[in-house]
Amino acid sequence: MALRTEEMLLNVGPQHPSTHGVFRLVVKVDGERITEAIPVVGYLHRGTEKLAEDLSFTQIIPYTDRLDYLSSMLNNYALVQAVEQLMGIEVPERAEYLRVIVMELNRVASHLVWWGTAILDLGATSPFIFAFRDRESIVALLNEISGARLTYNYMRVGGVKWDAPEGWIERVKKFITVMRKHLKEYHQLVTGNEIFLARVKNLGVYDAKTAIAFGQSGPVLRGSNVKFDIRKNQPYSIYDRFEFEVPTGETGDVFDRYMVRMKEIEQSLNILEQATEQFPEEGEIQAKVPRVLRAPQGEVYTRMETSKGELGVHLVTKGKSDKPYRLHLRRPSFINLQILPKILLGRSMADIPAILGAVDIVLGEVDA
């Protein structure tokens, strides 16, 4: 005899410990099995794109800090890159190196936060603290160079705001060694754990075709065995000067996305090592730009690889103006999470944090 069961509509979020912010997921569950999942976004919408139309280019930079607040340096770069391309500004070499160093540091920090929280979602509490210990060193370094711990507002059109303080590069080098050692410990603590493997293997699987069809980018795309990293495929800044690999996964499950991110931390450390080695002793950190930045009429789309994926900036200017006519941001978190209804279907309630954690969304970026 078939047991009569009842479907239950469950609101996961917007206030929920594992949605990483004000994300809401409306799920229909049959017992513990999910029969439907609809993501609802917009609780943190601040209208960044519209606000930008009333701001000069330099004034927009602090707004980009608040998009993906875990990797503000990378967002800063996305905007200044677009403006520089539109205005045709050459950035001094020393500034480019500083940018790469802070961006890669920030990428490691972002991945560390992801690592800690994703494992925390699986119920292990210690990795979270360990990850935040190392993130703390990065935040301290970035604080030293930019004066802020989270919203750095560090980059400017044509360069960076502050030069590296004395001994800063040495401290970054020291951090790389420490981080490499800790990374090994992290693998020991989590990667080999049977319970962890049982939780994440063959979970939330999608192949390369699906990933591309859903417009995925970043680690979630590379986890499905697509070797695509904008730093490699369409190098911007000075990324063509560094040797690094683009790690990919095999099956496209949560574990692969996990491994891709962990390997990316290693690769970022490699880039950091080379960048700190090649770092020019002398040089300008800011190109000569007019006091009021007036961009010529035009339209530009630039993209870059953030810790979440492809962050694109579509910038349109009308007339010779110091403000954008229209600014659109292609936010990777927002696009990456669209695959959720598909991969959550038929899984159990307990898989929600595991799958959602592996997508790595930051709500500031999703809702912009």
Q: Which is nearer to another protein, 2 or 9 (CB)?
A: 9
DSSP code string of 14-72: SS-TTSSSS-EEEEEEETTEEEEEEEE--TT---HHHHHTTS-HHHHHHHHHTTSTTSH
Site string for another protein, 140-179 (x = CB under 8 A): ----------------------------------------
Strand order in the sheet with 33-40: 7-12, 24-30, 33-40
Does 5 interact with another protein (rule: CB under 8 A)?
Answer: no
Q: Which is nearer to another protein, 77 or 130 (CB)?
A: 130
Q: Which of 51, 140, 150, 195 binds another protein (CB under 8 A)?
A: 195
**What tokens appear for 153 in the block?**
């507002």
Stretch in the footprint of another protein (CB under 8 A) among 11-19, 43-51, 212-220, 243-251: 11-19
Locus of tokens 């499950």: 253
Distance (Å, whole) CA 281 – CA 349:
55
Length reported for the chain: 368
Written in H, E and C, the secondary structure of 171-204 is HHHHHHHHHHHHHHHHHHHHHCCHHHHHHHCCCC
Does 120 interact with another protein (rule: CB under 8 A)?
Answer: yes
Q: Which is nearer to another protein, 133 or 209 (CB)?
A: 133
Does 8 interact with another protein (rule: CB under 8 A)?
Answer: yes
Does 319 interact with another protein (rule: CB under 8 A)?
Answer: no
Contact 220, 359 (CB under 8 A): yes
Does 196 interact with another protein (rule: CB under 8 A)?
Answer: yes
With CA atoms as reference, report the closest residue to 80 among 111, 112, 102. Answer: 102
Does 191 interact with another protein (rule: CB under 8 A)?
Answer: no
Stretch in the footprint of another protein (CB under 8 A) among 159-167, 218-226, 235-243, 344-352: 344-352
| Position 86, amino acid | L
Does 204 interact with another protein (rule: CB under 8 A)?
Answer: no
CA distances from 54 to 57, 145, 259 (A): 10, 29, 42
Distance (Å, whole) CA 325 – CA 312:
17
Q: Which of 130, 242, 255, 279 binds another protein (CB under 8 A)?
A: 130
With CA atoms as reference, report the closest residue to 324 among 63, 45, 43. Answer: 63
Q: Which is nearer to another protein, 112 or 352 (CB)?
A: 352
Does 122 interact with another protein (rule: CB under 8 A)?
Answer: yes
Q: Which of 191, 202, 297, 348 binds another protein (CB under 8 A)?
A: 348
Smallest gap from residue 65 Cβ to another protein (A)? 28
Contact 56, 292 (CB under 8 A): yes
Does 316 interact with another protein (rule: CB under 8 A)?
Answer: no
Q: Which is nearer to another protein, 90 or 136 (CB)?
A: 136
Site size for another protein, by CB under 8 A? 30
Site string for another protein, 28-47 (x = CB under 8 A): ----x---------------
Q: Which of 124, 148, 238, 246 binds another protein (CB under 8 A)?
A: 124
Q: Which of residues 218-247 bind another protein (CB under 8 A)?
A: none
Q: Which is nearer to another protein, 129 or 213 (CB)?
A: 129
Does 126 interact with another protein (rule: CB under 8 A)?
Answer: yes
| Position 36, amino acid | E
Residue 309, C-beta contacts closer than 8 angstroms, at least 6 positions apart: 216, 217, 218, 219, 220, 221, 332, 333, 335, 336
Smallest gap from residue 16 Cβ to another protein (A)? 7
Stretch in the footprint of another protein (CB under 8 A) among 55-63, 94-102, 216-224, 345-353: 345-353
Q: Which of 1, 125, 166, 181 binds another protein (CB under 8 A)?
A: 125
DSSP code string of 296-365: PSEEEEEEEE-SSSEEEEEEEE-SSBSS-SEEEEE-HHHHHGGGHHHHHTT-BTTHHHHHHHHH---HHH
Please give the residue ranges that form the binding site for another protein (CB under 8 A): 8, 10, 16-18, 32, 119-126, 129-130, 133, 189-190, 193, 195-196, 198-199, 348-353
